[in-house]
Chains A and B, each alone.
Chain A
Amino acid sequence: MAKSPEEEHPQKVFGWAARDSSGVLSPFHFSRRQVLFLPSELYHDRENGDDDVTVKVQYCGVCHSDLHTVKNDWGFTRYPVVPGHEIVGVVTKTGKNVNKFKVGDRVGIGVLVGSCKTCESCQQDLENYCPRMIFTYNARYHDGTRTYGGYSDMMIVEERYVLRFPDKLPSDAGAPLLCAGITIYSPMKYYGMTEPGKHLGVSGLGGLGHVAVKFGKAFGLKVTVISTSPRKEEEAIDKLGADSFLVSSDPAKMKAAMGTMDYIIDTVSAVHPLAPLLGLLKLNGKLIMLGLPEKPLELPIFPLVFGRKLVGGSDVGGMKETQEMLDFCAEHGITADIELIRMEEINTAMERLAKSDVRYRFVIDMANSVSQ
């Protein structure tokens, strides 16, 4: 008979989990696997070594994927689920094989905690595209147990999937970079959207969108925010540094902007029309989809054929690139705009997130939350 979440591993952990597709989270006692900690004299015995790092969680960003998952929007949630994949904390223990980290280091954990390490994707530092990639939560780990994410007080992760948090990057405002940041950075590099002077459209001004504006400006691009909410304009321009703002429900403005953008990053996860976005692109323009709508979208083919335009997708990034992104952010002073909450406030935060009522990421302050 399968062991309960509390019993399956030796180390007791406390977190918050959703129990069903209402998505309501509540305290959840579970357990994590042991990190083998051997005395230094036995360091030479590599065969028995452990590659894991134990992290005391200090902050965890609330990603929209967490909301989709607790509500089972995508249909593959297994309850109980402990979400959270924008995790920053401090190393408290390392397995004897671990040499990139030591106790006391500030580290981050993002969207994945495992992969096969042998396939072409893994060998190209693209663990995120490994067919056996293991998500930080709601997935099956190598040992058959479920993975539980960062809405918890402690994480144990294999060294390869842990990131060094640069000194200049604050833990709280830096946490969302572990998903939102890499989700934007990776396709900007891959699809060649970093040529200074080019024009980037950012569709949707939420967690992903606001980070996209910051990266866009850091790459020297002209940035236009495309949004259904006119009330976001002032902040987009004054605070985030966007060059212009386009209300997508204004037909005249949309028409005037046709054929003006080299690239568009589409962060919107609701079902929405692609034709207007394709129309905004110049010839040979690129529309990159990052949001995950529940249903397929309608794709008009004429603009692709006659304008040689493309629609591409991207999904987070590999570990090497995630580290590169964090270092880039530290160098350019890029962090997320956040609202700190306590763990107990998570359900209210989720309700507000569903209404897009956050500027622009909630981050759970674990240290200031009730621990039991």
Chain B
Amino acid sequence: MAKSPEEEHPKKALGWAARDSSGVLSPFKFSRRATGDKDVTFRVLYCGICHSDLHMIKNEWGSSTYPLVPGHEIVGVVTEVGSKVQNFKVGDKVGVGCMVGSCHSCDSCSNDLENQCSKMILTYGAKYHDGTTTYGGYSDLMVADEHFVVRIPENLPLDAGAPLLCAGITVYSPLRYYGLDKPGMQVGVVGLGGLGHVAVKFAKAMGVKVTVISTSPNKKKEALEHLGADSFLVSKEQDQMQAAQGTLDGIIDTVSANHPLLPLIGLLKTNGKLVMVGAPEKPLELPVFPLLMGRKMVGGSCIGGMKETQEMIDFAAKHNITADIEVIPMDYVNAAMERLVKVDVRYRFVIDIGNTLNSSN
């Protein structure tokens, strides 16, 4: 008979879990495995709330199993390392993102693309090598294989750095892969949420000129004055969109709702690239003429491998890039989820696990 979550491993752990597709989270006692040879154990201090967490707790993708402890933007301080761990020691500031395992032998793994490994193990809601369910960062303790742990440089604040572990790598990777990182280029960012605002910051740090494209005119001031975007387009304003035709080398599209691609393709210069990092569920209409006439492309991207994630964190530390966050106590999480549905956050909630997740909750 399968052991209960509380009994299956030797270390006691406390988290908040969704019990069903209502998505309501509540305290959940479970356990973490003993620190294996290659494992790093750390006390969680902060965990970012990613929009994926919302999709998962409500089973919107149909893959959720309950109880579900979300959270894959996890940072904390190392308390124990396994005997074969090379790169970390007790006291180090570390983070874990969207993955905690992969096969280590396929082509993808050999090319530092663990995120593309067919046996990649998600940080939460997945089956680990030992058959137990993975529980994420809305919890007080994490145990992870060293390979999937990143070092957080001293000068990167833990709370505002946490969202980089998913949002950061999700936009950093395609900026590099699709070559939209050359100084002087003009890149558009569609959608100004968790992903979008970080995309603006990374692109600016790479020397790129940034145009934010949004349906909300009220985001303009902040985009230009606070985030440092060079210009702002309201996507429903035909005149603005028309005037900006053929001006962008690339576009990072963070919007996961269904939306038309034609106006975005029109904004691209010849050889321009539209990169989807949001994943609308239903197919979108692809106008083929403009793609051919301008040698344009539509591509996608999803997080990144561990090597690149570390590179991204180091780049962020060097350029003082952090997410704009609203720190919340653990017991605010359900209210935060409701606000996230309404996009009422600038631009990521981060749970103050260290100070507010304790057994008295």
C-alpha spacing A306/B302, complex, angstroms = 6
Give the complex CA separation of A298 and B261 in angstroms.
11
Q: Taking chain A's interface residues, is the majority helix, strand, or loop, or is none over half, making it mixed? A: mixed
Interface string of A281-319 (1 = CB under 8 A from B): 001100001111100111111111111111111110000
Query: Counting CB contacts under 8 A, is B98 at the interface?
Result: no
Number of inter-chain CB pairs below 8 Å: 104
Would you call B130 an interface residue if the criterion is a C-beta within 8 Å of the partner chain's C-beta atoms? no
Name the distance in Å between A164's Cβ and chain B's nearest Cβ.
25
A292 touches B279 (CB 8 A): no
Instruction: Tell me whether A290 and B292 are in contact (CB under 8 A).
Output: yes
B283 partner, pick from A121, A293, A300, A306, beta carbons under 8 A:
A300
In this complex, what residue of B is CB-closest to A187?
A: B295
Whether A289 pairs with B292 at a CB distance below 8 angstroms is yes
Interface string of A96-139 (1 = CB under 8 A from B): 00000000000000000000000001000010010000000000
Give B284-325 as 1s and 0s: 1 = Cβ < 8 Å from A's Cβ atoms: 111111111111111111100000000000000000000000
Chain B interface, number of residues (Cβ within 8 angstroms): 34
**A293 to B291 alpha-carbon distance, docked (Å):** 12
Q: Which residues of A contact B289 (CB under 8 A)?
A: 292
B292, A301: Cβ atoms under 8 Å?
no
Task: State whether the Cβ of B277 lies closer than 8 Å to any Cβ in chain A.
Answer: yes
The minimal Cβ–Cβ distance linking B135 to chain A, given in whole angstroms, is 23
The answer to whether B280 and A129 have CB atoms under 8 Å apart is: no
Q: Out of A129, A275, A308, name the residue touching B299 (CB < 8 Å).
A: A308
Q: Which one of B113, B270, B277, B291 contacts A311 once the chains associate, using CB atoms below 8 Å? A: B291
Cross-interface CB contact of A293 among B113, B262, B280, B288, cutoff 8 Å = B288
Do A305 and B295 touch across chains, with their CB atoms under 8 A apart? no
- Given the interface pairs A283-B108, A299-B283, the reply to whether A312 lies near B296 with Cβ below 8 Å is yes
Contact B292 A314 (CB under 8 A): yes
In the assembled complex, the Cα of A296 lies from the Cα of B261 at a distance in Å of 11
Does B276 belong to the interface (CB within 8 Å)? Answer: yes
For A296, what are the chain B residues with a Cβ–Cβ distance below 8 Å? Answer: 262, 285-288
Q: Does B35 contact A (CB under 8 A)?
A: no
> Contact residues of A with B, CB < 8 Å?
121, 126, 129, 187, 190, 274-275, 283-284, 289-293, 296-315
Q: Which residue numbers of B lie inside 8 Å of A, CB to CB?
A: 108, 113, 116, 177, 261-262, 270-271, 276-281, 283-302
**8 pairs, CB–CB < 8 Å, chain A vs chain B:** A292-B292, A296-B285, A296-B286, A296-B287, A297-B286, A298-B286, A303-B300, A304-B298
Known: A297-B285, A309-B300. 6 other contacts (CB 8 A): A187-B295, A297-B286, A308-B300, A311-B297, A312-B296, A312-B297
10 closest residue pairs by CB, A with B:
A304-B300, A313-B291, A310-B299, A312-B297, A313-B292, A305-B300, A299-B286, A298-B283, A296-B285, A300-B283
